[in-house]
Structure 1
């Protein structure tokens, strides 16, 4: 019986591990690149060898493109705390709530919107650093995500 071990590491590392377990025969390498031309004439330059790649050579992950998503929003004003822990910093929980009249406050104590359409506008821009997977045999490059360095 095969022992199952959960994949470890980033989502990209997990994808590579899954491909190896399933016997994927195509080699995949992960590289860094810089966007040198924005959409609609997307172009990137690979860090390793300075190779410029044009849009015909690229597949871009949807979350890096302008796209619509269906979302549901549920909000309840926090009654027991004044700071919200959001990742690496605390934010004030009341925002503009205290700047509106008392009649309007109760209107926004609880809020729900189901199946709303949201458009994500933040496309790749010149100068963005990206993580790229190269499918060597096919010379297809997949832009997986933006790369960020913390100083």
Structure 2
């Protein structure tokens, strides 16, 4: 349940609050960020931080990258290429762990 202090906030602020309350783990934190540069040399700016993260700091979930999948359509196997990779300006939700030493980009927001 959200307290009254979150009623007027954005959906992203509410989501962050709920995730922190329900999934609290002192070794894991949920953060928001903006993509500055795409893969393979990805760079990310975390909200409220002065530093940037680069490819060495980040793990990107497959559905946020260009990737191929096989699908069956009308009994035939076809290969589909998903091209909706992260691009500069995209807002993302990130989970940090190992005291902020590693980050996983979970999804766009």
1:1-80 to structure 2, matched below 5 A, reads: 13=19, 17=23, 27-73=27-73
Distance 1:138 1:128 in 2: 21
Q: Are the aligned partners of 1:26 and 1:136 in contact in 2 as well (CA < 8 Å)?
A: no
Runs of 4+ in 1 over 3 A off after TM superposition: none
2:101 is aligned to 139
Give per-residue Cα distances to partners, 1:54-103, cap 9 Å, x unaligned: 00000000000111111123xxxxxxxxxxxxxxxxxxxxxxxxxxxxxx
Deviations 1:97-137 (A, max 9, x none): xxxxxxxxxxxxxxx14321111011110000000000043
TM-score normalised to the size of structure 2? Answer: 0.72
Q: Of the two, which has the highest radius of gyration?
A: 1
Q: TM-score, normalised by structure 1?
A: 0.53
What runs of 5+ residues in structure 2 fail to find an aligned partner? 1-14
1:69-148 aligned within 5 A: 69-73=69-73, 112-137=74-99, 139-147=101-109
Does 1 or 2 have the higher relative contact order (CA < 8 Å, sep 6+)? Answer: 1
Q: In structure 2, the residue corresponding to 1:56 is in which secondary structure?
A: helix
- Give the length in aligned residue pairs: 90
Secondary structure of residue in 2 paired with 1:125: coil
